[in-house]
Structure 1
Amino acid sequence: MSTTFRTSRQFAVPPATVFAAIADAARIARWWGPAGFSNRIAEFDFRPGGRWLFDMIGPDGTVYANESVFVTIAPDRQLVLRHLCQPHFQLTITLQPAAGGTLLLWEQTLDDDAVAAAVRHIVEPANEQNLDRLTAELAVH
Structure 2
Amino acid sequence: MAQAEYELAIERYIDAPPDIVFKVWTERLEEWWAPKPWTTRLIEQDLRAGGRSAMIMSGPDGSTSPMEGVILEVVPNERIVLTDAFTAGWIPQTPFMVAVMTFTPHGSGTLYRAASRHWNEAAHKQHESMGFKEGWGIVAGQLAELAEAEAKQGARIPGR
Determine if the TM-score, normalized by the shorter chain, exceeds 0.5: yes
| Structure 1 stretches of 4+ moved >3 Å | 84-87
Query: Gapped runs of 5+ residues in structure 1?
Result: none
Question: Cα RMSD over matched residues?
Answer: 1.8
> Within the alignment, does 1:82 sit opposite 2:83 as a pair?
yes
Q: Could you say which structure has the larger radius of gyration?
A: 2
> Within the alignment, does 1:18 sit opposite 2:43 as a pair?
no
Instruction: Report if the CA contact (8 A) 2:14-2:148 is conserved.
Output: no
> Within the alignment, does 1:119 sit opposite 2:127 as a pair?
yes
Q: How do 1:38-53 and structure 2 match up within 5 A?
A: 38-53=39-54
Deviation, 1:87, is 6.2
Instruction: Report if the CA contact (8 A) 2:32-2:142 is conserved.
Output: yes
Instruction: Report if the CA contact (8 A) 1:70-1:80 is conserved.
Output: yes
Task: Write the letter of the residue equivalent to 1:126.
Answer: G
- The 10-residue stretch of structure 1 (128-137 or 81-90) with the greater mean CA deviation from structure 2: 81-90
Residues 43-79 of structure 1, C-alpha deviations (whole Å, 9 max, x = no match): 1212111001111102321011110211110001111
Query: How many corresponding residue pairs?
Result: 139
Hey, what's the Cα distance between the residues in 2 that align with 1:128 and 1:7?
A: 6
Percent of aligned pairs with the same residue? 24
SS in 1 for 2:132: helix
Of 92, 101, 109, the match for 1:93: 101
Hey, what's the Cα distance between the residues in 2 that align with 1:118 and 1:71?
A: 23
Hey, what's the Cα distance between the residues in 2 that align with 1:36 and 1:89?
A: 24
Return the structure number with greater strand share: 1
